[in-house]
């Protein structure tokens, strides 16, 4: 069971993780993008941290929707609208909930990823953040179907996201700024797939430590 306080802790943890990985994400983005992914993600989460105290006592849906709206309004490039949509859609799935079962958590993540896919129109293999999210969701669902608990299912999701992230390296980008490079995008890890992995890993680390 994931509590409201754990969701708040997840966002706080994510802010720290994205601060720590700002230069790494920007370095990845400098090879195939605008060299601003890490900077933009840190800026967005800084704004989320400013807003978080005002909604920390609200329901989970409210907290996630506030995070999403803040990212959309404060992050440039493609990542702001995409991750903003992720948290807003996830928040809609968690509307009025004070805690989430494992199935609820999957529903939140699925709704968020559906939002990313709808907004970005990316498919598996396009060398985007979707290449981390889709295998992660499949692994999460498969573990729950086997009767695993929330943490075990999330561990499988994180491992699948990491593998999906690494598998973007040999791909040629077919979406976003990187697609303009054609074959020159091959050989580089996608920064969006990387930040997506970090988001899931931060969630797992939060649930395991609280």
| Per-domain boundaries in the chain | 2-209
Extract the tokens encoding 46.
Answer: 């800084």
Backbone phi, psi, residue 65, to 5°: -65, -40
The superfamily in CATH containing domain 2-209 is DhaL domain (1.25.40.340)
pTM above 0.95, yes or no: yes
Q: Structure tokens of 115? A: 């939002």
Per-residue tokens: 143: 């573990």
The Cα–Cα gap between 27 and 179 comes to 18
Spatial contact of 160 and 97, defined as CB atoms under 8 Å apart: no
pLDDT tens-place values along the chain, 210 residues long: 999 999 999 999 999 999 999 999 999 999 999 999 999 999 999 999 999 999 999 999 999 999 999 999 998 778 899 999 999 999 999 999 999 999 999 999 999 999 999 999 999 999 999 999 999 999 999 999 999 999 999 999 999 999 999 999 999 999 888 888 899 999 999 999 999 999 999 999 999 998
User: What sign for the dihedral angle of Cα 119, 123, 124, 127?
Assistant: negative
180 SS3 class: helix
């Amino acid at each position: 069971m994931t509590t409201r306080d754990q969701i708040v802790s997840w966002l706080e943890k994510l802010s720290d993780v994205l601060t720590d990985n700002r230069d790494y994400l920007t370095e990845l983005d400098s090879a195939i993008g605008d060299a601003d992914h890490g900077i933009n993600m840190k800026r967005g989460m800084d704004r989320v941290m400013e807003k978080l105290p005002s909604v920390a006592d609200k329901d989970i849906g409210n907290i996630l929707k506030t995070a999403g709206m803040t990212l959309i309004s404060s992050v440039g490039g493609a990542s702001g609208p995409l991750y903003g949509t992720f948290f807003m859609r996830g928040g809609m799935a968690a509307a009025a909930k004070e805690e989430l079962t494992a199935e609820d958590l999957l529903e939140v993540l699925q709704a968020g990823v559906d939002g990313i896919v709808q907004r970005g129109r990316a498919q598996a293999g396009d060398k985007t953040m979707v290449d981390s999210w889709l295998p992660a969701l499949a692994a999460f669902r498969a573990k729950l179907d086997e009767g695993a608990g929330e943490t075990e299912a999330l561990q499988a999701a994180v491992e699948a996201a990491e593998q999906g992230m690494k598998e973007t390296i040999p791909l040629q980008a077919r979406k976003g700024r990187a697609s303009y490079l054609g074959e020159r995008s091959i050989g580089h890890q996608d920064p969006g797939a990387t930040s997506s992995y970090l988001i899931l890993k931060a969630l797992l680390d939060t649930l395991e430590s609280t």
